[in-house]
Amino acid sequence: MSNDKSKIKVMVGLSGGVDSAVALYLLQKEGYDVHAGFMRNWDAIANNDISGNPTLLDPACPQEVDYDDAVKVANELGVTLHRVDFIKEYWDDVFTYFLAEYKEGRTPNPDIFCNKYIKFDAFLKWAESLGFNYIATGHYAKKEVKDGVSYMLKSKDHDKDQTYFLSQLSSAQLEKTLFPLGELTKSEVRAIAEKLNLTPAQKKDSTGICFIGERQFREFLKNYIPAQNGVIKDINTDKVIGTHVGVYYYTLGQRRGLGIGGLKDYSENKRWYVCKKDVKNNILYVANDDHDTHLKSDKIMLSDVNFINTPLKNGTEIKVKLRYRQKDLKATYYNDENGVYLRFPEPYFAVTPGQAAVFYDGDICLGGAIIGDIYFQEIKVN
């Protein structure tokens, strides 16, 4: 490939937010031949709920607002903006998985599979079909190439680092990707946007479901998984101490929004935490002490294991994140006759089936997997 950056074509995923806008500007400043692509992956009318009714819950679709902002950014920076639909791909590869996991009582992270199948697969293939050499995004991550091999590293801004969400990428996907924000902090990105007077300079970060936007989550999920009230039980006494609005809507370790507390039969009214979900019988189990053994795991089984480069060997000691922005934890990776799993040197709090376990060697992201069954001292937590 030519070393002349003006001959290298880059398609930037422009979301309408500040990060992708600044990523676009930085690549443009470096001299690349830059275009922008806006992905439309959710159709609130076409994606009907379980009873066949439209699920447009907002008076204005957040995605269309984002598109309008993307148009403004493209005009401000003088680049061509393309719009592409991946509605079917998103539904088939991301949203159906998201719903299936919730129906099993797990807590999925759709952003991880959105990256794997949409942003770095469907979008990449589409860009390549148009003759582009690379895609780029506003993710906070770094790519380093050593001896022809691409490695993904944590970004300079560890608080905003997003390698956790990129852990299912392949080496081939990484090779074709640029991360312009890897050496910047969020505050530096904001400052660049403000200096350029870009439309999303003060736009708040998106915290909603990938491509669906920010909604009242329980109300949104009820469109696809009907709510069914049930009982909340103290896992240590099996006593009913409250009611819930549907076990699917809670996650392990959750302590807010349970509607219990101040119970007269408990001399110590400590905080209550969700520790188990019995989907079959619609029972939510809680424990009232964060040191309770039902809330801690020292072994987890893994599925959807992905290594960006070289697979780990059985018995390798690594660092792992079990949820976004969690500190790196010690673990040992195993792949033997018992399956693929991690063991921890001590029990960790509220490890959640359906979330990602992401592997690290220092700042290098090695890959990741999805958390399956969890154990405490070899006792499976059902």
User: What is the rounded distance in angstroms from the CA atom of residue 24 to the CA atom of residue 58?
Assistant: 29
Catalytic residue among 61, 114, 275, 365: 114
Listed in order, strand segments (DSSP E) in 245-338 are: 273-278, 283-287, 296-307, 316-321, 329-336
Q: Which of 181, 167, 83 is nearest to 136 (CA)?
A: 181
Q: Is 114 a catalytic residue?
A: yes
How buried is residue 278: exposed, middle or buried, by Cβ count under 10 Å (0-12/13-18/19+)?
A: middle
Q: What region does 282 belong to: left with phi over 0, alpha with psi -120 to 50, or beta?
A: left
Separate counts of helices (H) and strands (E) for the chain:
9, 18
Q: Which residues contact 306 (CB under 8 A, 6 or more apart)?
A: 167, 168, 169, 170, 367, 368, 369
Catalytically active residues are 114, 210
